[in-house]
Structure 1
Amino acid sequence: MTSIKNMRLVIKIILLSLIITISSVLISIGLTTKFAKQTIQNETEKNVLNISRTVARIPSIVDAFETEDPASIIQPIVENIRKAAENVEFIVVTNLEGIRYSHPNPFRIGSRFVGGDEEGVLLEGKEYISMGEGTLGLSTRAFTPIYNSQNQRIGMVSVGILNQQIYEQNAQLNNYIHLAIFLGVLFGFLCSILLARSIKYSLMGLEPSEIAKLFKERNAILETVKEGIIAIDANGSITLINSSAKKTLAFPENDTVGKSIEKIIPYTDMIKVLESCRPIYDEDRKIHGINVMMNIVPILDNDNPIGAIASFRDKSEITALAEELTGFKMLVDSLRANTHEFMNKLHVILGLIQLKDYKEAEKYIINLTTSHQEIISFMVKNIKDTSVAALLLGKYSSAKELGIDMNIHSSSYLEKLPSHIPSSLMVTIIGNLLENSFDAVKDQSEKKQVDCLIKEKKNQIIISIKDNGYGIDSLHKNFIFQKGYTTKKDGRGVGLYLVKQNVDSLEGSIHFKAQRSKGTHIVIKIPRTR
């Protein structure tokens, strides 16, 4: 048999609801039944007592005691009253000796009252209610003394209702109670099924053990990932924050859950995302003096915002990783381009040797070695940042491969970059500008020319990229730096957007001149100090 612990949630909810419903119904019905039966008994006693009082005060009945045959007067009056009264089984009038003057069975008139509980009214003149066994059976009856006009006791009235009638009323009440119990339990059962389904639906069909497992897995994931994670509810209060977020942002408070996000971390745009339901990706933010890269997405329930969650990482870590990856990428690109270029040149040399034109082959090799050595020496001497130097070498080789004359201006010079200017940003800026220029000139039928100048002054770094490509139409000039905007058939509109974003983050400026079919000239100025 399946244990309660392993029982499905729906079954548990139904059983628990049924137990609560049945218990509540039984307790309620039990108390109500007891009260109802007591009420029936009290109303019965009150009814017979009122009738006995009424009969005892009827003048014609009182006067009949003075006649020779009281029964002939009393019996008709009393029987009419008995028949008119509901559920009254008998009304008996006797003298002080207990001799009957009325009875539902006329043959018992003149005989003595039976029951043994009449002494209190006959001997002492008390008015009371008792239960006794009479000629008609066990009954609940009221006794009231009869007084004449001189206030002398002359007899008594006994009004009774057979207990069998009370039992029948209680039996009828029990039938209603049983029906009420059945309907109550049935209604509780149906409601428990609806409740179980509703709870199951709200829990996405998961069992408690599965929810507990997911909760543990979630906590393990949150504490394992290096990204900081913060979640808020619909009111902007923090509901979750992992240890990476606390460590990265160096929170002064030990407990931040339940506090307003605006008080703990202002200017994160989490409230903005919550209200607009529009996510934010890869945005630079400065929190507690730390530059972070942040993503914020809304949490929706049937298209209704119920919260927002932000993930972020220290930008210095991302920058360091990006610089390392950029260096490798530039090296690989440079080696690939050089390999392809040298393969072509080796084919030329091989052809000259096969033609036995050894002098021309020697001359070609010397010129080739000298040219390559010059560009490498120039880079080593003038461009001190290795990532930027690797990028330029790689792009120079790619240009050669594409038949583009890439001219790196002889006055180009770049010292090691300041600490606030990551190499990865410079590589992104220069690389995207050169790539755009290559795309602009690669389909030119005439000479393909790209000029590059990177110059360092006392207060700023200048990057100048000029090409003789197809230029930029005046209609597009205001949109080229917008994300997703492109005039290329296979473009994604990301390159110049990244350039603009990185230049803005370095507090630099962009100036460009472009004319259709006459080329483009872009100049970027980046301050050496903030």
Structure 2
Amino acid sequence: MLVTVGGAAALAVVGAQRLETDAAERLTAATAQTVATDPAVVAAVTAGGDPLVVGRSMQPLALRVQAATNTAFVVVMSPDGIRYSHAEPDRIGQRYVGTIAEARAGRVYSEHYLGTLGPSVRTVVPVWSAPTVGPAGSVSGGRVVGLVSVGVLETRISELVARELPWIVAVALVAFAVGSVLAWLLARRVRRQTLGLEPEEIAAAYTHHDAVLRAVREGLMVLDADGRIVVLNAEARRLLGFAPDQPVEGRRLVELGVDPALRAVTRLATGGAADVRDALALAGERVLLLSRSSAGPRAGEGTRVVTLRDRTELAEILRERDAARDRARALSSQAHEFANRMQTVLTLVQLGDTEDALRAGTAAVDRARGPSDLVVQDPVLAALLLDKVWTAAERQIAFTVADETTRDAPVGADDLVSLLGNLVDNALDAAADGGPDPAVRVTLQDGADGGWVVEVADTGPGIPAAAADDVFEHGFSTKPAAPDRPRGIGLALVARILRRLGGAIEVRPADPGTVFRLTLPAAVTGAVPVSPAPRR
């Protein structure tokens, strides 16, 4: 404030001095022109003669004009610069001290000059023998018969500026006082907004904040009361599918094209007061766990912190755990049954009935080998279906596979396992809830376009006609959810994987049960809408 107000005051002083100097130049020019056109002056300087004689008539006139205009001097002189008048009479007849060449050439000339009376602002004009005033106020006519110089001392200008200086100082002091108060209020506001932190503390806090956001392995997202993104760390960008340099702060999730299933959960982050822990949501093909808590009163009313955790791998582990558990149950059952059969074989041997013992032992060994008739060309798919065979056997469900393909799988192993694994698990659950003869059948065929056609049929109760349009929506399921096994995820993932691959899925009723028909293209051709066929 001191620098600003001091600079403004200095500019005001310089401006005032410049204004007074300009006023002095205008005053001296106007006065000199008036004297130069006075008929008495024209007649006297035209006649010329002894400077002392001419000065007797010019000196009184010059003194009257000098007193009337409050100027320092009015000098009437010959074209050679010999004075006819002066503020100090003893200098009459001496040569004028200053520049007269411009005026002798017929031009009006103003200058700052150190004369006999001191530094002054002076104007020298020519005296014409037949003066005529032009349209712009200029005077000319005849020849130059003399010169008139009128000046104002610079000390006089300084005195005029000094008279204005108190006002300049007063305004500067008022401006400084008002500015200081406003600066103090602004400083208080800024300090309140920055929680009293100094600039270096703010820089350190930002550095630590950025380091923490980068180090956190969970996705972190902060939404304000309007649902706009305030903070989004790198892991959250990855989970939501944003590019590292994509601008997201200040925008809503719907504007960024975030999956509707995830938006439906994050919408809670601005609508309610209760916290949320481990809510399940889908972001593309990722299964996410979402937690939400209030950011605190300092962050603003309605601001929430949302954490995102990738549950996709956990879902795969849970599926493998369930498969391993079913396999263990099947092995336990097989072991118990095998022990009973071996006891029968031993009894037949002891009784000497070797032929019946041989048949019973062979049957026991064949049953212990498991589904040896399962023949699937793709090794990854064979391993998956073999595991499902054991699961079906444990659940007393007939499981058959028909592989009619002649070419390799058109999609990657991960996608193939996700597609068939979810569909077969869904079919086994449905068949277990069906009639007295539960069965699941998987059929693999070559497609017309170089891809595959896969059908998974079950003998379950079927899908209600009213739910046919919702089976691929996240969170929808016709079966009750278990505490450790949330429903409504598998078919939603199948639909999203097919959209990415450019495939299609059709759901049609069977008698009994349901058939899911997948069309897998030979190559990714773009997004294809996934919609179930009409149900009965």
TM-score normalised to structure 1 length = 0.46
Give the TM-score normalised by the residue count of structure 2: 0.46
